[in-house]
Structure 1
Amino acid sequence: MKNINKILARLIVLGLVATSCSNLEDYNVNDRNITQEQLEVDFQHVGSKYKPIFENIYKYSPAAQYQLQQNLNADVYSGYMTNPRPFVAGANNTTYKMISGWNNSIWSIPYTNVMNNVQTISELTAIDYPTLYAVALILKVETMHRVSDVFGPIVYSNFGDLENAGIYDSQQEVYSAFFTDLDTAVANLMANIDSKSFASFDLSYDGDYKQWVKLANSLRLRLAIRISKVDADKAKLEGEKALSQSLGVMETNADGFFVNSEFDHPLTTLDNSWGDTRMNATMESILTGYNDSRATSYFDAPTSVSGTVKGIRAGLPLLGAYADELAQKADYIGFSAINDNIHTSKVQLMTASEVAFLKAEASLRNWSGAGSAQTNYEKGIQLSFDQHGASGSASYIVDNISTPLDYTDPINATNSVAALSNITIAWDGGATNEKNLERIITQKWIAMFPEGQEAWSEFRRTGYPKIFPVVSNQSGGLVDTDIQIRRIPFVDSEISTNSEGVATAVSLLKGSDNAGTRLWWDTGASNF
């Protein structure tokens, strides 16, 4: 990040672009006889920067980049998916033998494709086009909180600063910066809420700034809940700000944040073409235990074994009975693939269902404006069923008997494991806050599928749902099998170019730079 020649070259380019766009207000009054068509062509200097931001919150194409950026880490660690073959003879990220070459994508894609473009947009729009700047800030926060929730400290407030490039913010500092950026974004949008200036560049909301404010408020609520165990006062302040803002948070499925990209969902390639990802055993345990009709909206029936759905334990080793990885894959590839309902949908980043569950937890924490915990909890379930066209929600919501099931591996019995929780579905007003929080997070976890990054973060924050540990732990003692993986170590590409910055970042962690060290908001303590 300290490559001065690259930075200087970029500043020269930015200067040229800024010059070409600096007189757009003059063009609007046509003082120089510039046509509307010419104005629109010129404005692509800004507008063209948004598409790569949308499509690299996680990378859609090529699918191999998404596989490295999220699928072989968060999608597995969340209990959603796992690989039907072990890769690298069973010593890889999914068994906690961290491969830095795989992890580089988690860091490089957001910085190269999101932060660089946001920086350019900011320099061109912050003063003269505040609503366009606002959208860039919201996208920036949505992207970079995910990066921070993987590594901890990140380069954020100093990004693009020539003198301080490469200096990290602690995770506490960066969360504070997220809230400040969301303040700016909401204020800018509210000042010109009916403008359609972003319509031709918007891959989510057709240029409707009211929806972008709802997203900003919902994102603020997510981040506030995330820090509620480590900074309760700040969390309450920010959460209540989100809940009291005049346009509110997401309430209907139409409010959800999805990206309508021209690329296919990357899971289509990983799942259908390569056969590299399948249902996780934890998903099977919970969905089948609850008789959850969303199971068949999420996953296909297995082709090699019996059952409605069939998952695989995470962290499979390469067992001696198999001559190679492909032989082991041949046995497990017939387990449940991801349903085309997920492949063909727009890429999901935040839903109204998630927000309803956030409000339910906010109510448990006595935040003003959150409403009834039970009402929000049941609404979250209903919204998810409606989103996926699933039936039976009325009886599901009041089910106070069903619990997660034991998992049985029909190929290798040593992978079988007893269910880790007896939590039921129906709201229990007489239960402790901790028990009802487990209900909230378990149902939120089901509803957020297939967005593994957020699901993994919530598992680390709360310990819910209770996810089966890996079969094989190859971390050499750095990660406790029962506590499970807590973060990704800083990557080689960053260490080699910004060693001083990384050394400072490591000093901001709670421990060593390894996968067993908890993040700032990950306290490991009671949730209440």
Structure 2
Amino acid sequence: MKRSYKLLSFALLTTVAFGTYSCTDNFEEINTNKTKLTSLDELGTENAFAAAQYRSVQASWQTYQSLFADLQGQYFANIAQNFSSDRNVMVGNWLNGAWTGFYGTAIPALLGVLENTGPGGEYENAGKFAIANIWKVYMYLPRTDYWGPIPYSKVGSGESSIEYDSQEFIYKDFLTTLKASAASLESLKGTKVFGTVDQVYAGDVNKWILFANTLRLRIAMRMSKVEPALAKTEAESAVAGGTLATNADDAFLKVTANSFNPMNQATAWNEFRMSAAMESVLKGYADPRISKYYAPIAGTTNTFKGIRNGYTQGQLGAPENNANATSNVADAFLPAVQDKNPFAIMYASEAYFLKAEGVLKGWNMGTGTAKEFYDKGIETAMKQWGIVDAAAIAAYINGTTPPVALADFSKTPALTNVPVKFSADPSKQLEQIITQKWLANYPNGHEAWAEYRRTGYPKLYARINSDNPDSPKEAVVRRTPYVSSELQTNKAEMDKAIIKLGGPDNSATRLWWDKP
């Protein structure tokens, strides 16, 4: 018998309709009952998975990633004079939109898939259930890394007040879920699950296993300070199971005219530019990816210029900080190709940098030294961006020049003094690994910000100004505060969540895994 199920009673009480948001074009419309979803048929279940994939990256991308993580991770700096999040202001309506966009549009679609394909479901299918669970972890990871404790295990219960799980519980459930899902898919190797409805791997089970293991490795590394023994065990198990290895394994979300790349759409609004941190590093390393990531300033063919994070409205009005005097994104990220530029989910290069760091920790990461994994990560990253000349890649890997000082508005010094060439000095190796992972993961600001909080690398610039007393200009924003919609509709559980958080509900409180 088909089942119906209730959604969250707080942020999710909205009309949910799967519009034309993916390559499948016509999602099943869900009824207008604001407390539950109508049961989906089998095709509707598959289409709901495509919706969950797309909406988990599209929902509130601007107010979620662009105006927070991308600025905190310093891939970009703000140039919009009326915007304040680059000065560490936790703009409430933006964060509220990010929260409700996720719980109100992405999660309902996923719930339908898990309900129908899981044990006892109308269309029970172990392969589909496993892949949906892997995507669930991918969806939730950056959200818990924004807020800490969040609604997770009780989402969809239909209760009038939804409990927040601790981040420790969520992370450990992530590991369990990924391990079980990858194991479930082992017997299906060589087959397709979901087929072309799957907007990432077109149902390729082999690639989903690699993705699950790499995501597990990422999560294990993130919690390595607070749970070192468990992190080691999980990381070693993930590597033994196989991780992303070549750029053919890279995970990208397919886009169309109806399901476009949200970053490409946002660049039309002219809100951000290349950061000073990226300029210092890319120029100092003579990195050939500079023209893949950013565009030369207007009227030039090869002049790139970044901008510091945290300028005031007045400073942003200075001529040299003008939009035409600073580097926009490269053409691949402009609105003209929003239906052609796939959205990056995870690169194979990240797996090599994670393994390199694992070796530094004494973990068994398979055959290879930290240097070998580091060099392979760089090579893989270069090739992913179309830089395939072996001599050019080798020259970069063996580069000895450090990042450069900038002749800018603030007379900015070099970001750091470490070169690309892997150092024999153990005190410099982690910084090199994370700096190169930061470069390779562009434009994934969620990972950039999370890894900066975890490691302190790369050595990003202090903000020029901060308007947030909890996070002054020299400080790192450790998290985002809870949103007003929760205060109004789920306050009792939010108050319990703050106790689980272990500190005030502000931007200075560290997350569970974020230990000094």
TM-score, length of structure 2 as denominator length? 0.87
- Which of 260, 264, 268 in structure 1 is aligned with 2:264? 268
- 8 Å CA contact 2:63–2:94 kept in 1: the answer is yes
Write the mapping of 1:173-212 to structure 2, written as runs, cut at 5 A: 173-212=169-208
* Equivalent residue number for residue 442 of structure 2: 449
* Equivalent residue number for residue 9 of structure 2: 2
* Equivalent residue number for residue 373 of structure 2: 376
- 8 Å CA contact 1:473–1:481 kept in 2: the answer is yes
Give yes or no for the alignment of 1:489 onto 2:488.
no
Give yes or no for the alignment of 1:280 onto 2:275.
yes
Q: Quote the sequence identity (%).
A: 33
Give yes or no for the alignment of 1:99 onto 2:91.
yes
Write the mapping of 1:163-242 to structure 2, written as runs, cut at 5 A: 163=159, 166-242=162-238
Distance in 1 (alpha carbons) for counterparts of 2:143 and 2:315:
37
Distance in 2 (alpha carbons) for counterparts of 1:287 and 1:142:
29
* Equivalent residue number for residue 426 of structure 1: 421
Structure ID, larger Rg: 1
- 8 Å CA contact 2:11–2:485 kept in 1: the answer is no
* Equivalent residue number for residue 464 of structure 1: 457
* Equivalent residue number for residue 35 of structure 1: none
- Which of 235, 245, 250 in structure 1 is aligned with 2:244? 250
Alpha-carbon distance change, 307 to 207 in structure 1, aligned in 2, over 3 angstroms: closer
Alpha-carbon distance change, 462 to 206 in structure 1, aligned in 2, over 3 angstroms: same
Residue 275 (structure 1) shift: 1.6
Letter in 2 for 1:360: A
Write the mapping of 1:32-47 to structure 2, written as runs, cut at 5 A: 42-47=41-46
Distance in 2 (alpha carbons) for counterparts of 1:473 and 1:216:
38
Distance in 2 (alpha carbons) for counterparts of 1:321 and 1:275:
13
Give yes or no for the alignment of 1:518 onto 2:510.
yes
**SS at 2:115 equivalent:** helix
Q: Cα deviation per residue 1:134-163 (whole Å; 9 max; x = unaligned)?
A: 111111100101100111111111212234
Distance in 1 (alpha carbons) for counterparts of 2:315 and 2:278:
27
Distance in 2 (alpha carbons) for counterparts of 1:485 and 1:203:
33
Residue 197 (structure 1) shift: 3.4
* Equivalent residue number for residue 58 of structure 1: 57
Distance in 2 (alpha carbons) for counterparts of 1:320 and 1:523:
35
- Which of 328, 334, 341 in structure 1 is aligned with 2:325? 334
Write the mapping of 1:495-514 to structure 2, written as runs, cut at 5 A: 495-514=487-506
* Equivalent residue number for residue 397 of structure 2: 397
- 8 Å CA contact 1:304–1:335 kept in 2: the answer is no
Letter in 1 for 2:246: T
- 8 Å CA contact 1:304–1:334 kept in 2: the answer is no
Distance in 2 (alpha carbons) for counterparts of 1:283 and 1:12:
46
Distance in 1 (alpha carbons) for counterparts of 2:302 and 2:198:
42
- 8 Å CA contact 1:360–1:440 kept in 2: the answer is yes
- 8 Å CA contact 2:217–2:354 kept in 1: the answer is yes
Distance in 2 (alpha carbons) for counterparts of 1:372 and 1:182:
26
Name the Cα RMSD after superposition.
2.3
Residue 226 (structure 1) shift: 0.4
Letter in 1 for 2:55: N
Give yes or no for the alignment of 1:292 onto 2:299.
no
Residue correspondences, number? 477
- Which of 75, 79, 103 in structure 2 is aligned with 1:84? 79
**SS at 2:344 equivalent:** strand
**SS at 2:130 equivalent:** helix
Letter in 2 for 1:455: A
- Which of 321, 325, 344 in structure 2 is aligned with 1:348? 344
TM-score, length of structure 1 as denominator length? 0.85
* Equivalent residue number for residue 20 of structure 1: none
Distance in 1 (alpha carbons) for counterparts of 2:44 and 2:78:
41
- 8 Å CA contact 1:189–1:213 kept in 2: the answer is yes
- 8 Å CA contact 1:93–1:99 kept in 2: the answer is yes
**SS at 2:325 equivalent:** coil
- 8 Å CA contact 2:226–2:515 kept in 1: the answer is yes
Alpha-carbon distance change, 495 to 160 in structure 1, aligned in 2, over 3 angstroms: same
- Which of 253, 258, 264 in structure 2 is aligned with 1:259? 253
- Which of 64, 75, 100 in structure 2 is aligned with 1:69? 64
